[in-house]
Amino acid sequence: MSYSGRREVIPKGVESLKEAIRMIEQAGRVFALTGAGVSTLCGIPDFRTDTSGIWERFEQLKIFDIDVFRREPHLFYEFAREYIYTMKYVKPGAAHLFLAELERRGMLCGVATQNIDGLHQAAGSKVVFELHGSPRSSHCILCGRRYSQEDTEERLKNVPYPSCDCGGLIKPDVIFYGELLPEKTLRGAIEEAMSCALLLVLGTSLVVYPAASIPQIALSSGARVLIFNKTPTPFDDEAAIIIREDLKDVCEFLLDYLYSKNGR
Ligand SMILES: [Zn+2]
């Protein structure tokens, strides 16, 4: 999937964008951090700030609470049927494609994301640190048997929640409130943040940990940080460039810029 031709509408702040791409080209080791803002472009609601009414129907704190999940797993699975297991039908957006293209060209060493939708991988990114886990695999909380998302969904048919052959509850490998963060993933992302020369932050306001620690680590390791986010973040004062324009316009522009400069 790609964009063709020069864009007719060039985003405001185009000079900042050219400066951003110049920095990306010259930085050497570039790492990226993404949040819900890259996926809302694709129609996936921001589970933290969504105002479309999801949280009038579902109690967010309960759905993703590990103790509630163990007691009343149907609450999570009712939500998952509608909002999580449908994410596989969503196509990656401009931000996902831009990062995948950077990686394909050897200009990006990987991306850490707060999202659980798998859209970076769908766009072609290979090195993805999913800080909040992923629903694409699950496991039995009793015997530990692993399940694919497909198997989990199969076992969810016509029942309120999926069970293992041993009778144990099947839990997706998404990180719930009250659970430890995925240590290996987090360590991998932190190592990249420490060794990169430039960190791109896209579509996150950097208020949720552990994601918020990534720019902190990058900055204290001497990296520069570029922020593409429509609202202010706690790191704006320390960022080399802040771009608040519409993320879709910005990433389409950057993609076209890459194509026009270096071919496909
Ligand atoms: Zn089991």
Q: How confident is the model at residue 104 (pLDDT cuts 50, 70, 90)?
A: very high
What does the alpha-carbon distance between residue 18 and residue 257 come to, in Å, rounded to a whole number?
A: 9
Mean pLDDT confidence for 82-91 = 92
Same domain, 256 and 222: yes
- Domain final residue, candidates 174, 197, 229: 174
193 membership: H or E segment, kind and range: helix 183-195
* C-alpha 169 – ligand 1 centre gap (Å): 7
Q: How confident is the model at residue 164 (pLDDT cuts 50, 70, 90)?
A: very high
* C-alpha 74 – ligand 1 centre gap (Å): 18
What does the alpha-carbon distance between residue 59 and residue 9 come to, in Å, rounded to a whole number?
A: 40
Same domain, 248 and 228: yes
Mean pLDDT confidence for 189-216 = 95
- Active-site residues, by number, are 132
What does the alpha-carbon distance between residue 95 and residue 128 come to, in Å, rounded to a whole number?
A: 14
Same domain, 166 and 63: yes
Query: What is the pTM assigned to this prediction?
Result: 0.90
In a domain, 1, yes or no: no
* C-alpha 196 – ligand 1 centre gap (Å): 41
Q: How many domains does the chain have?
A: 2
Q: What value does the CA radius of gyration of the chain take, rounded to a whole number of Å?
A: 19
* C-alpha 253 – ligand 1 centre gap (Å): 49
For residue 145, the enclosing domain spans 47-89+135-174
Q: What is the mean pLDDT of the chain?
A: 90
Same domain, 156 and 186: no
What does the alpha-carbon distance between residue 31 and residue 195 come to, in Å, rounded to a whole number?
A: 9
Query: Does pLDDT of 235 surpass 80?
Result: yes
What does the alpha-carbon distance between residue 30 and residue 184 come to, in Å, rounded to a whole number?
A: 20
* C-alpha 146 – ligand 1 centre gap (Å): 9
Sequence letter at residue 105: R
Mean pLDDT confidence for 65-91 = 94
Q: How confident is the model at residue 171 (pLDDT cuts 50, 70, 90)?
A: very high
Which residues make up the environment of ion ligand 1, defined by Cβ < 5 Å?
Answer: 140, 142-143, 145, 164, 166, 168
DSSP string, 48-96: TT--SSHHHHS-HHHHTBHHHHHH-HHHHHHHIIIIITTGGGPPP-HHH
Say which CATH number the domain at 170 has.
Answer: 3.30.1600.10
To the nearest whole percent, how much of the chain has pLDDT over 90? 76
* C-alpha 185 – ligand 1 centre gap (Å): 25
pLDDT score, position 9: 46
Same domain, 19 and 142: no
pLDDT score, position 208: 84
Same domain, 146 and 254: no
In a domain, 40, yes or no: yes
Which has the higher per-residue pLDDT, 5 or 205?
Answer: 205
pLDDT score, position 249: 93
pLDDT in tens, 107-157: 999 999 999 999 999 999 999 999 999 999 999 999 999 999 999 999 999
Same domain, 13 and 139: no
